[in-house]
């Protein structure tokens, strides 16, 4: 899941300053799970903004809406009228959702209410941890399902750096050494031979050095796109 956290209230107030009608737009998927941008958070934030602006003597209107996913047109179209009536949309989605709203409604100013942080999982109540950096070339089959890119603080591919002690990372003693986790996992499964395979320097061309990535599956399209004139 995509994990994010809300920006400070005063920062959000600065982003919507000067606009009379704000739409706080939530997202019902990832950021709902991490309690950052779901329907409940939208209601709380909208109330906080109303009170703050009223105390400051500003006459503003703060509307609320939440869609299932901000990253898909069909869900955004359901709130098209509310979006178009707003002077500014304060999106409580991840960065993808913010950009989707801006692209779908090019005449409306859209600003982010969250900081998108990482791809992770809820390890326990109130704790989300990074597990993937979306590098585009997954190595988990070689490391027992433990990602060395995300779990090792230095993203090393051929074993630990030598600075870890008692299973903890030298960068942060509260962080588990990614390669200790990999070793323990492979040892438990009887697959330690995998750790002896020397990995070539990683090809980062599948990551971010070539601009925005895309996956194109023409076989999934419902109808043919019109030919360019």
Domain ranges for the chain: 2-118, 135-202
Locate 162 and state its tokens. Answer: 């030598």
User: Which positions ≥6 away from 183 have C-beta within 8 Å?
Assistant: 192, 195
**pLDDT tens by residue, 93-112:** 999 999 999 999 999 999 99
Distance, CA of 110 to CA of 105 (rounded, Å): 9
| Phi (first) and psi of residue 116, to 5 degrees | -75, 125
**pLDDT tens by residue, 73-96:** 999 999 999 999 999 999 999 999
Residue 41 exposure: Cα atoms within 13 Å on the Cβ side: 26
Is residue 192 over pLDDT 90? yes
- Per the listing, tokens 């602006």 go with 53
**pLDDT tens by residue, 17-67:** 999 999 999 999 999 999 999 999 999 999 999 999 999 999 999 999 999
| 223 burial via Cβ count (<10 Å: 0-12, 13-18, 19+) | exposed
Enter the CATH code of domain 2-118.
3.40.50.2300
């Amino acid at each position: 899941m995509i994990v994010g956290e809300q920006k400070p209230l005063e920062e959000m107030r600065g982003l919507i300053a000067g606009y009379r009608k704000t739409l706080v737009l939530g997202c019902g998927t990832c950021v709902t799970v991490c309690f950052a941008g779901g329907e409940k958070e939208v209601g709380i934030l909208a109330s906080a903004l109303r009170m703050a602006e009223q105390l400051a003597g500003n006459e503003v209107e703060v509307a609320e809406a939440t869609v299932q996913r901000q990253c898909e047109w069909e869900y955004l179209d359901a709130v098209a009228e509310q979006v178009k009536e707003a002077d500014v949309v304060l999106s409580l989605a991840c960065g993808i959702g913010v950009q989707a709203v801006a692209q779908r409604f090019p005449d409306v100013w859209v600003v982010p209410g969250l900081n998108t942080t990482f791809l992770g999982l809820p390890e326990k109540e109130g704790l989300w941890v990074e597990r993937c950096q979306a590098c585009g070339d997954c190595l988990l089959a070689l490391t027992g399902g433990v990602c060395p890119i995300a779990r090792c603080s230095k993203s090393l591919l051929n074993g630990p750096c030598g600075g870890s002690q008692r299973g903890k990372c030298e960068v942060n003693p509260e962080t588990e050494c990614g390669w200790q986790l990999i070793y323990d996992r492979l040892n438990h499964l009887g697959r330690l031979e995998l750790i002896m395979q020397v990995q070539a320097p990683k090809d980062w061309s599948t990551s971010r050095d070539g601009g925005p990535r895309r996956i194109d599956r023409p076989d999934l399209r419902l109808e043919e796109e019109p030919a360019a004139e």
